[in-house]
Amino acid sequence: RGGWRPTWVGDLAPGEAILFPPGTVHETTTTSHECAASITFQFATPPPVLHWDERFPALRRLWDVHECWAQFDLPYASLLAPPASSAALPVRELFFLSLQLGGLLPVRARRLAVQRHAELDADADGCLSVAELPPPPRRALGTAEAWPGALASLFDVDADGCVAAAEVGSVIERWALVQRAVAEEWLPPPRAIARQFRAEARVSGAGMPERR
């Protein structure tokens, strides 16, 4: 309500281009009386996971980019998914998995992340290498070669070349905290759900379930 307050505003002259990450809310306006034509080209590699992670609290609440929510969740959900299923699950199924996992208490999500770190750490050296990180899910942005490196940049918080269990836990916990907060913000209160159920039951002729 009240319109947007853009973070960046710029003018493009004929022949110029602008580059911004996927999931960026944008709007274009022609400032002259002449006709204007533009072409959009999407770069899938490298996946902009650091940009998504930095702005995730806002992006996850922004309905304008709801079709991108599944992509935003993939780096976290793919790491938490069972090893054999991460690459096999399509983006949509991983998104629902992420909603389920994001509904966990953030502390529990951290424990699950630490457990997955141990399962992925094949050489048990306490650090996840790029080779040990899970492959990209189907239809994920980026190539199969670029995806593990993108995950490493996301979870290697101190950029020392070692993706430690504590780092994975902290990133996943932060993500789960946003997911849970959004779910609580959007979930109608119990009384509202009951009123809606009664209204639908009256229309359909069905009764409310008996209490036992």
Radius of gyration of the chain (CA): 21
Q: What is the pLDDT of residues 47-63, one digit of tens each?
A: 888 888 998 998 888 88
Q: Is the pTM of this model over 0.85?
A: no
Quick one: tokens of 178? 């946003």
Q: Tell how far CA 115 is from the center of its chain.
A: 21
Quote the CA–CA distance of 73 and 96 in Å, as a whole number: 10
Residue 76 clears pLDDT 80, i.e. is over it: yes
Q: Tell me, what's the pLDDT at 66?
A: 82
Write down the pLDDT at residue 157. 94
The dihedral sign for the CA sequence 178, 179, 180, 186:
positive
Contact predicate 45/142, CB 8 Å: yes
Name the amino acid, one letter, at 86.
S
- Structural element, H or E, at residue 70: helix 69-80
**What average pLDDT score do residues 168-185 get?**
87
